[in-house]
Structure 1
């Protein structure tokens, strides 16, 4: 059963939105995925992964629906922490790439708008440091503009 985006920004509603988003991704239901996202949502990834960042709810939704269709992808929510006052959440997950026989583990940082829709997802993967990179950070993410050191 796919949970629709929860109304509001309580901790319970934000957690339900993340869980509903992951369930919708696993179902490969692009409309349900998009319903959890603000129209201009962004999904950031490590460099050279999935041609990211993905921009827009429909793009994000279609890309995950394609992953389910073409690779047998599914996701589980393994742990989640919500900061209601900041409208942020962190979710640790497992991505099963069924047809490839790959299990990818990681965590995502979520930001939400005033209506409780996801505006931003920043994906971090559990894997060895990539050789040849002198900066290991999300591709397309403006660290300097966000106040991160060495941006």
Structure 2
């Protein structure tokens, strides 16, 4: 799917799902321009602490980082399940990340936020893995939980 196709769909449930699927397809293709076409210019991608030097800030940064993962680690992704909340312009996608050259399979889910044009403004990645015993807060690195009204005590 081309970058233009990612930005044309709008904000219906079907369009938001197509945007997530198109984004994942562009990631698997290692197509930095295609990836960026599904993201707002100031998009943010959050990860667990100490993962991938996150959060990644900006469409071009996100696009380049995933294109590099494909090139250097043989990364590819599948969309295993997706749920869309059209009125809130949000989606959740369960996925599998195959890190081909490392022989690693990483499973997880991402929370997506979209702007008025249906471009992805925020991705919050959550991984299926054991709890880190040396962490007292298991949350996304760099994400402003308190500022967004999440319980923080």
TM-score range, shorter chain: over 0.9
1:21 aligns with 2:23: yes
Return 5+ residue gaps in structure 1 as ranges.
Answer: none
Q: CA deviation at 1:2?
A: 5.3
Return 5+ residue gaps in structure 2 as ranges.
Answer: none
Conservation of the 8 A alpha-carbon contact between 1:47 and 1:139: yes
For residues 36-89 of structure 1, the C-alpha deviation after alignment (integer angstroms, 9 at most, x for no partner) is: 000000000000000000000000000000000000000000000000000000
Runs of 4+ more than 6 Å apart:
none
For residues 105-139 of structure 1, the C-alpha deviation after alignment (integer angstroms, 9 at most, x for no partner) is: 00000000000000000000000001210000000
Conservation of the 8 A alpha-carbon contact between 1:2 and 1:23: no
Q: How many residues align?
A: 151
Q: How does 1:43-122 map to 2 (within 5 A)?
A: 43-122=45-124
Q: CA deviation at 1:95?
A: 0.1
1:33 is matched with which residue?
Answer: 35
Conservation of the 8 A alpha-carbon contact between 2:31 and 2:67: yes
**TM-score, normalising length: structure 1:** 0.97
Matched position secondary structure for 1:86: coil
Conservation of the 8 A alpha-carbon contact between 2:40 and 2:121: yes
Matched position secondary structure for 2:87: helix
